[in-house]
Amino acid sequence: MTKREINKQEMDKKKQERLADLLKHSLTPMNRELDRDLWPKMLQRLDQGARNRNWFAVLFSPSAMSSVPWFDWALLAALIIGICLFPRSIPVWLYQF
Amino acid sequence: MNTHPYLRAYMAGTAVPTMMLLVVLTAFLIARYTFHIPIPIERAIIFPMALVPNIFGVWNMFYLWLRPRPHLPIGLHGAILPFILAPIGFALATCSGFLAATSGGLVWFHEVVIPYAFLAAGFAFALIAYYLVWKYLVSFFNEVLGIG
């Protein structure tokens, strides 16, 4: 190997080292673990979302309606049919409420 | 919100019958002045206005007190309430003079006759109504007030 080739190899090595050094400094070190718990923030956002919604909208939202079991719908239907069959009993019902 | 849980339970319990009171009063007025059913509003309104909301509130406080102990689900807890309210309501209505027990059945407001055979069905419907109201409405207000 000639002296010129040795010099070139050394220069390349120095360049590579400098490049590696620059890269190391430009990139922030990566944490394997998050430095904070994100769950409380998530809960806070969910809570804020719920607070911003009208309570009436929450009560009759599609998600609330879909969570009602079928037998409760059946009971409600029976109640409505009962009132329709005996409309004169409505004042008595209202009295009891 | 960890303060005054029983006060919040009372408020959550009274919310539904208080809202219903407007419906009740409107219906009584329509029944009396449109359909000419002789409802003595000033006497008939005492029970739904003064007693029912307070009893709902106290019953919800009782539910909150039962929570750390063995207890029924809120729907069934509410469905017990007609067993307490119905006798009080009947007694008050009889004393106020707009409910009479005759041989043909109970006569409400001197106009509405409910045969005794239908009383059990009517009471079953009341249980259903209370079950649904407590399971969905009172439970919802409990959650809103942070005691759900």
**Residues of chain A contacting residue B137, judged by C-beta atoms under 8 Å apart:** 59
Residue A86 corresponds to which tokens in the numbers above? 């005996």
Residues A47-87 pLDDT 10s: 776 666 666 676 777 777 777 888 889 999 988 898 888 77
Residue B42 sits in which domain range? 5-144
How many structural domains is chain B composed of?
Answer: 1
Q: What is the pLDDT of residues A2-44, one digit of tens each?
A: 788 888 888 888 899 999 988 888 877 666 566 677 788 878 8
Residue B1 is predicted with a pLDDT of 54
Q: Which residues of B touch A60 (CB under 8 A)?
A: none
CA distance A37 to chain B (A): 23
Q: What does pTM read for this prediction?
A: 0.71
ipTM above 0.90, yes or no: no
How many Å apart are CA B24 and CA B13, to the nearest integer? 17
* B28·A92 Cβ contact <8 A: no
pLDDT of residue B2: 66
Q: What pLDDT band is residue B120 in, cutting at 50, 70 and 90?
A: confident
Contacts of B128 in chain A (CB under 8 A): 75, 78-79
B134 in contact with chain A, both atoms CB, cutoff 8 A: no
